[in-house]
Structure 1
């Protein structure tokens, strides 16, 4: 058997407050709880969820030190379509969550918003026709969403 990677199993997000982040992520991404993780002291400080529409789990792990260190970073991007970005804009607007405009990205379009701990979340719609890229080298800068 070859040593190979067959996909992504889970994404882990470090949070300050597990209960508050659980409610926020569940509302925004319509997560379905898979399991809870107790530390040695019996306190639940981690949860894993199924992420509807994706073959990957999203995990939240309470650790205020790490959550603070990652504030303002975008350690991963969740994929959608260009039309999906418009639907996400409407969904986030309905929830009152500030977000960036949809921007032209290196190979598609993207939109950013912040979670309750200031972690930048990116939704990315890759170019549907890779041949549409002109091959020119580009530099893209993004910052935190307005608001």
Structure 2
């Protein structure tokens, strides 16, 4: 039996309103869902991205640690969004227009990408597999 694809990614954010505005601009869309989860333990905002993937922002009702994201800690390292190699320059320009700091386009044998971070310092990437 083949291993299933990812259906969604959910990240915890410190300021849901600020993160929602930031991701609205990045995704150039509004959330498909913006509600309290039925358990009452968190509020979530969910975006429906092309390709069927859902991307969620969570704000929990119970306080958590106050440290910022660090990919060197056990857990999530980064989230990569799939693009074509011919789209790299366009996404770099889009990040520039949004005022989002980002890396230069980096090329490696396994693909090419642009790294950047969200308001909580979560590592994100536009990634193009090799042709």
TM-score bracket for the superposition, by shorter chain length: 0.7 to 0.9
For the 8 Å contact 2:109–2:130, the answer to whether it is kept is no
Q: In structure 1, what is the equivalent of residue 74 of structure 2?
A: none
Gaps of 5+ in 2: 72-76
Match of 2:5 in 1: 7
Unaligned runs of 5+ in 1: 129-147
1:10–1:107 CA distance, 2 compared to 1 (3 A)? same
Q: Secondary structure at the match of 1:84?
A: helix
Structure 1 residue ranges (4+ consecutive) displaced by more than 4 angstroms after TM superposition? 39-44
Deviation readout 1:73-112 (Å, 9 max, x if unpaired): 2332111111211111000111111100000134110110
- Which structure is larger by alpha-carbon Rg, 1 or 2? 1
What is the distance in 2 between the residues matched to 1:11 and 1:31?
A: 17
Q: How many residues align?
A: 124
SS at match of 1:33: coil
- Tell me what 1:111 maps to: 114
Cα deviations by residue, 1:58-78 (Å, 9 ceiling, x for unpaired): 100014636845x14233211
User: Would the alpha carbon gap of residues 76 and 5 (structure 1) be closer, same or farther in structure 2, given more than 3 Å must change?
Assistant: same
Task: Specify whether residues 12 and 43 from structure 1 end up closer, same or farther in structure 2 by C-alpha distance, changes over 3 A only.
Answer: closer
- Going from structure 1 to structure 2, the CA distance change for 1:106 and 1:37 (only over 3 Å counts) comes to farther
Output the aligned Cα RMSD.
2.5
- TM-score normalized by the length of structure 2: 0.80
SS at match of 1:65: coil
Aligned to 2:47: 49
Answer yes or no: is the 8 Å Cα contact 1:21–1:116 preserved in 2: yes
Match in the other structure for 1:65? 64
